[in-house]
Amino acid sequence: MKLYRYLTEDDTSAFCHKVTEALNKGWHLQGNPTYAFDEKRGVMRCGQAVVKDATGTYSPEIKLGEF
C-alpha cells in the first residue's frame, strides 16, 4: 500500500525536525513544500507532503505516524 501524510508546523526548527524524522523513518518527499501566513495567529506555517510504500492493506484506522 502507499501511505500519504501532510506534515505542518509553524516556521521554526520544529518543522524541519518533523520532516527529518519522517525521512529517517523511510518516508519520501512528495511535491514542493508550502509556506503560508496564518493571519489569525500571526505566524508563518510550513507544510510538506510525504509518501511511503508499506506492506499490508489500507484502512482508515491506520496510525500513519507509527509507520
- Report d(CA 40, CA 62) in Å as an integer: 32
Residue 17 included in any domain: yes
Instruction: For residues 28-42, give the mean pLDDT.
Output: 97
Asked if 11 and 44 count as a contact pair (C-beta separation under 8 A), the reply is yes
Number of domains in the chain: 1
What pLDDT does residue 29 have? 98
Percent of the chain beyond pLDDT 70? 100
Q: Is the pLDDT of residue 66 over 90?
A: no
61 has a pLDDT exceeding 90: yes
Q: Which domain holds residue 30?
A: 2-58
Count CB-CB contacts under 10 A for residue 11.
15
Q: Is the pLDDT of residue 67 over 90?
A: no
Residue 67 lies in a domain: no
Q: For residue 2, how many other CB atoms are within 10 A of its CB?
A: 8
With residue 48 as reference, give the H or E element that holds it.
strand 43-53
Percent above pLDDT 90 for the chain: 93
Residue 11: per-residue pLDDT: 96
